[in-house]
């Protein structure tokens, strides 16, 4: 085994020396692996480095969240955009060989599995590490170990969701991607969708057992989760919202089980999170825009702190000169998202559209009251005069798992379980809508009351679309359900494997 490890906290580049070493990280900045993993601080640096590398433009800083994955889900209108060829002419058209799109897909694959390789090295090293080298002894060892396991599953689950069919389409014994759980690994060993999902679930179950040792006594209040100030050591141990913590791992396992069509198991995991949230008041949905919280991050169970997020956003949303502004818009806002909950009024420049829904108020902007180009502004800088600590979080967080998704999972499962289940499902969706500012008089809130199971699912999907603007989940929602994706003018992208399975990059198929 190589005696070198990427000292992740300092390293930005992701590149491969050759195709047949795609899982073997060959860093520019290296230190002795033995020295790095001889102290608890070394393990902390390695784990922090995993999160740091996940921030890249090709991973969760952009393309695996609000970039090409949302473009695949037909989230955007490009009429006012510039510099988004990989999204507009690649992902949006499912043109896998497009000159700007194909290299991005290759980079996503390569960078993701480099992160997996570093997770595997941490896991391999920490198993036999002496708990005494850690400041918090056995608890900290368990925390780092559990997070590395959960992150390995998290990333490879997203690779599965991109590069393999959903279980709902019965992919059978065909093999698509590997599930890599050794370090170093030089050979790609593709597995079936079900095999991958079983390994992902196992890692998350093991991670939960480890993370419970550290997270069991924590309240997961918003301030502790994201806003606590302190030294590097304090931040590492306390700000659990920026780490794949116990509750995030539980919610992720619910997401995985739902994707795998194991509804009973998914509901069990979702209800565990819901019970904790109710008992502790954790992950509360709340409007804190006044304080600078544009993203409503108080209900985020796990999000990534992306240092360059504002810069990534400015590359697409250039608003300095409004006359020549270039920006991403949300496609068919009135038809596919908020239509029934919009009200009109007369303004100096024509008809003004308003809604009680915070997601309409804070995440999009009707440019010049045209009702065609609703600018995506979820990742804009915070409003001036807001609380400094809140701004610091809001301007850099990319939400991965929200409490609202946990309610969605439970509601989707329960709505098919007779009158009692449907009633409970309705209460969950009504709660989310109410916490997002909608009133009992708003149309979609009223529609919940008399909705039957199928009608309720339509309402649920519509609310998921609102909630996940810019968060990379819309495409995976339609893929999981094998449903047509709404497009402009009432059209659809027809559900098919050509749309829902991204071809493996050349760096993989050339092995």
- CATH number for region 4-307+397-484: 1.25.40.390
CA 468 from centroid of its chain's CA atoms:
9
Q: How far apart are CA 173 and CA 189, in angstroms?
A: 14
Half-sphere CA count of 135, side-chain side, radius 13 A:
10
User: Per DSSP, which regions of 235-363 are E strands?
Assistant: 300-305, 329-330, 343-347, 350-354
Nearest by Cα to 359 from 276, 464, 275, 261: 464
CB atoms within 10 A of CB 488: 11
pLDDT at 185: 80
Instruction: List per-residue pLDDT tens for the chain, 511 residues long.
Output: 232 334 333 333 332 333 333 333 434 344 567 788 999 999 999 999 999 999 999 999 999 999 999 999 999 999 999 899 999 999 999 999 999 999 999 999 999 999 999 999 999 999 999 999 999 999 999 999 999 999 999 999 999 999 999 999 999 999 999 999 999 887 779 999 999 999 999 999 999 999 999 999 888 888 888 987 766 667 788 889 999 999 999 999 999 999 999 999 999 999 999 999 999 999 999 999 988 899 999 999 999 999 999 999 999 988 777 677 899 999 999 999 999 999 988 766 667 899 999 999 999 999 877 788 999 999 998 876 668 889 999 999 999 999 999 999 999 999 999 999 999 999 999 999 999 999 999 999 999 999 999 999 999 999 999 999 999 999 999 999 999 999 998 999 999 999 999 999 987 654 3
For helices 403-414 and 246-259, give the axis angle rounded to 10 degrees: 40
Model's pTM, two decimal places?
0.92
The tokens for 106 are 């290759």
The tokens for 227 are 């806003």
pLDDT at 246: 98
Q: Which residues contact 439 (CB under 8 A, 6 or more apart)?
A: 356, 445
DSSP 8-state code for residue 3? S
329-330/374-376 β-pairing = antiparallel
Helical spans, DSSP H, in 130-191: 137-163
Q: Which residues contact 168 (CB under 8 A, 6 or more apart)?
A: 261, 480, 481, 482
pLDDT at 45: 95
351 exposure class (CB count in 10 Å sphere: 0-12, 13-18, 19+): exposed
pLDDT at 509: 54
Please state, in angstroms and as integers, the Cα–Cα distance from residue 177 to each residue in 192, 370, 382, following that order.
8, 45, 40
Q: Could you give the angle at the alpha carbon of 323 between the alpha carbons of 320 and 327, nearest 5°? A: 65
Q: For the chain, which residues make up each domain, given as ranges? A: 4-307+397-484, 309-394
């Amino acid at each position: 085994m190589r005696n070198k490890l990427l000292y992740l906290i300092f390293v930005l580049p992701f590149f491969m020396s050759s195709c047949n070493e795609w899982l073997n990280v060959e860093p520019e900045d290296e230190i002795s692996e033995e020295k790095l993993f001889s102290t608890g601080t070394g393990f902390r640096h390695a784990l922090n480095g995993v999160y740091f590398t996940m921030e890249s433009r090709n991973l969760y800083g952009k393309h695996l969240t609000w970039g090409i994955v949302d473009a695949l889900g037909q989230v955007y209108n490009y009429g006012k955009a510039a510099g988004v060829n990989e999204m507009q002419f690649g992902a949006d058209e499912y043109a896998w060989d497009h000159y700007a799109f194909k290299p991005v897909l290759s980079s996503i694959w390569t960078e993701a599995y480099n992160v997996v390789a570093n997770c595997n090295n941490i896991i391999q090293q920490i198993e036999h590490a002496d708990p005494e080298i850690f400041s918090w002894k056995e608890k900290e060892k368990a925390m780092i170990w559990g997070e590395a396991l959960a992150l390995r599953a998290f990333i490879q689950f997203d690779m599965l969701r991109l590069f393999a069919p959903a279980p709902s389409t019965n992919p059978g014994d065909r093999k698509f991607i590997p599930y890599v759980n050794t370090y170093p690994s030089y050979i790609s060993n593709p597995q079936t969708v079900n095999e991958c999902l079983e390994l992902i679930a196992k890692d998350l179950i093991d991670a939960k057992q480890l993370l419970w040792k550290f997270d069991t006594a924590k309240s997961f209040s918003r301030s502790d989760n994201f806003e606590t100030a302190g030294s590097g050591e304090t931040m590492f141990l306390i700000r659990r919202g920026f780490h794949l913590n116990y509750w995030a791992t539980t919610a992720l396992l619910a997401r995985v089980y739902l994707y795998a069509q194991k509804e009973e198991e998914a509901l069990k995991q979702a209800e565990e999170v819901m019970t904790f949230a109710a008992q502790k008041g954790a992950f509360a949905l709340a409007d804190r825009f006044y304080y600078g919280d544009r993203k409503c991050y108080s209900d985020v169970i796990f999000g990534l702190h992306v240092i360059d997020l504002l810069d990534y956003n400015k590359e697409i949303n250039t608003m300095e000169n409004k006359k020549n502004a270039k920006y991403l818009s949300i496609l068919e806002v009135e038809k596919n998202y908020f239509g029934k909950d919009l009200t009109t009024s007369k303004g100096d420049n024509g008809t003004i559209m308003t809604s009680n829904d915070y997601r309409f108020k804070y995440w999009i902007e009707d440019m010049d009251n045209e009702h065609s180009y609703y600018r995506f502004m979820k990742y804009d800088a915070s409003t001036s005069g807001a609380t400094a600590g809140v701004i610091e979080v809001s301007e850099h967080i990319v939400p991965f798992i929200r409490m609202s998704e946990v309610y969605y999972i439970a509601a989707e499962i329960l709505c098919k379980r007779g009158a009692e289940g449907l009633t409970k499902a309705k209460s969950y969706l009504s709660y989310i809508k109410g916490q997002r500012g909608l009133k009992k008089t708003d149309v979609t809130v009223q529609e919940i009351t008399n909705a039957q199971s199928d009608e309720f699912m339509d309402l649920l999907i519509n609310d998921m679309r609102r909630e996940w603007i810019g968060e990379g989940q819309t495409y995976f929602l339609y893929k999981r359900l094998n449903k047509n994706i709404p497009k402009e003018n009432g059209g659809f992208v027809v559900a098919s494997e050509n749309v829902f399975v991204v071809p493996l990059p050349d760096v993989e198929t050339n092995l």
